[in-house]
């Protein structure tokens, strides 16, 4: 599966750097082309000539050692790659990448690349569990970086625990499996909605909800990784646009309705995860309302039911809705599934600890019109997004929509 793939292997300064030599050999045997970038510290553990002999490519060590004056070295290497693998990924390099620091050949190339980046951490067990390291890894995960979890066992420092660089054979296997996943939705046009909507009363006041958009953005990020052509219609959120995703910003329920309908007929898979306002003020003001004695009553009117409309207009699309429930989760989910003519629904049990708005995790139930049911226990929204898309791909492939 890696035949012909162009891989940049970044080697940072840890004792596990010796495993990176075997990893280079395994990647070459799998048919990949490999270019190695080493940090100064990594060269204290393994000589660059080792990687040069194994990869049959020059080893990059210094940003300013421009081997070809017609090119900017770190940009050229970043553009050359199909994927970037950082192994071992030390606490130091993870912190630099999370903080946007670019002070050597490896970090400048990492910041310049637009291809998927995989990190295989390796460090002392206590370093791995340090709050700063965990925070940095969480930040990179949210940005779409992929982690190949370290193994557990005897470490060079003498401790036994999690922090050992995964074996080269396993890392190659993970990359091959990930490559397969990238074909999962290749050629599929995916339309996703995310975040809240805002319904204004006047220029400084509006009705909204606590949705952060994290679930929808996780879906968009993973769909893009799976090879899909992704359009994301987003309410107002403070999240970066996932790589490879076409983002359309909206504010109100009406704006979201218009944009979704505009892109609906050309979409194959539609996932409506946005928390759209059900009501909006009947009367709005162009100027700030002044405070006055007594109570103030806001008369509300219904917004358009986007999901219901999509269900009624459904042609070839595989349509997935979301629901937030606190009790009778399956019953309410199936009612919404049938009423809105959906192919599948993801019901979030927001009464569970760690689930619902604002959290990085969810507890969900997957239901389909064909009677399929799958419970997803507490997991990250990124992991849940993968599960939803894998289920969707399977149903699309089976033609069950």
Q: Which residues are catalytic?
A: 157
- Residue 233 near residue 192 (C-beta atoms within 8 A): yes
Q: At what angle do helices 306-313 and 253-264 cross, to 10 degrees?
A: 20
The gap from C-alpha 149 to its chain's centroid, in whole angstroms, comes to 17
The residues, any chain, with a CB within 8 Å of residue 326's CB and separated by 6 or more, are 349, 350, 351
- Residue 213 near residue 237 (C-beta atoms within 8 A): yes
Instruction: Please report, for residues 83, 357, 361, the alpha-carbon distance to residue 385 in angstroms, rounded to integers and kept in the order given.
Output: 22, 15, 11
Cβ-based neighbour number of residue 72 at 10 Å? 15
Q: Please choose, from the candidates 401, 301, 383, 268, the residue with its C-alpha nearest in 3D space to the C-alpha of residue 343.
A: 401
Long-range pairs for 168-175 at CB < 8 Å and ≥24 separation? Answer: 168/19, 168/22, 168/23, 168/25, 168/26, 169/26, 171/23, 171/26, 171/85, 171/87, 171/120, 172/2, 172/23, 172/26, 172/27, 172/30, 174/118, 174/148, 175/1, 175/2, 175/83, 175/85, 175/118
- Residue 7 near residue 27 (C-beta atoms within 8 A): yes
Compute the chain's Rg from CA coordinates.
24
The residues, any chain, with a CB within 8 Å of residue 47's CB and separated by 6 or more, are none
SS3 (DSSP) at 213: coil
Per-residue tokens: 311: 């269900």
Q: Please choose, from the candidates 336, 315, 316, the residue with its C-alpha nearest in 3D space to the C-alpha of residue 325.
A: 336
Alpha carbons 297 and 309: distance in angstroms, whole number: 30
SS3 (DSSP) at 286: coil
């Amino acid at each position: 599966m890696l035949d012909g793939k162009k891989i940049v292997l970044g080697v940072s300064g840890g004792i596990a750097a010796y495993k990176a030599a075997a990893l280079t050999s395994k990647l070459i045997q799998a048919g990949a082309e490999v270019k190695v970038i080493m940090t100064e510290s990594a060269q204290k553990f393994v000589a660059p000539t080792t990687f040069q002999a194994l990869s049959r490519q020059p080893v990059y060590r210094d940003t300013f050692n421009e081997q070809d004056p017609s090119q900017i070295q770190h940009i050229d290497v970043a553009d050359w790659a199909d994927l970037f693998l950082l192994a071992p990924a030390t606490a130091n390099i993870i912190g630099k990448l999370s903080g946007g620091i670019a002070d050597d050949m490896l970090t400048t190339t990492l910041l310049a690349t637009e291809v998927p980046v995989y990190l295989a951490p390796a460090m002392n067990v206590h370093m791995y569990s340090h709050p700063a390291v965990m925070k940095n890894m969480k930040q990179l995960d949210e940005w779409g970086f992929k982690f190949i979890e370290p193994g557990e066992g005897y470490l060079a420092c003498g401790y036994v625990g999690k922090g050992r660089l995964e074996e080269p054979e396993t890392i190659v296997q993970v990359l091959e499996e990930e490559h397969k996943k990238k074909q999962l939705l290749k050629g599929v046009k995916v339309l996703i909605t995310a975040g809240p909507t805002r319904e204004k009363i006047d220029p400084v006041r509006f009705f909204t909800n606590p949705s952060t958009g994290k679930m929808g953005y996780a879906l968009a990020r993973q769909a893009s990784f799976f090879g899909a052509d992704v359009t994301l219609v987003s309410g107002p959120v403070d999240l970066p646009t996932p790589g490879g995703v076409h983002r359309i910003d909206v504010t109100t329920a009406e704006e979201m309705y218009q944009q979704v309908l505009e892109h609906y007929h050309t979409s194959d898979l539609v996932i409506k995860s946005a928390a759209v306002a059900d009501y909006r003020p009947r009367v709005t003001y162009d100027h700030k309302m002044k405070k006055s004695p007594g109570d103030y009553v806001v008369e509300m009117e219904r917004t358009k039911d986007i999901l219901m409309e999509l269900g009624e207009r459904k042609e070839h699309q595989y349509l997935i809705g979301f629901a937030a429930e606190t009790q009778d989760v399956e019953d309410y989910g199936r009612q919404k599934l049938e009423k809105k003519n959906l192919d599948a629904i993801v019901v979030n049990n927001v009464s569970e600890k760690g689930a619902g708005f604002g959290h990085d995790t969810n507890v969900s139930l997957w239901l389909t019109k064909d009677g399929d049911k799958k419970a997803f226990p507490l997991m990250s929204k990124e992991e849940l997004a993968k599960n939803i898309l894998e289920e969707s791909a399977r149903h699309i492939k089976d033609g069950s929509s």
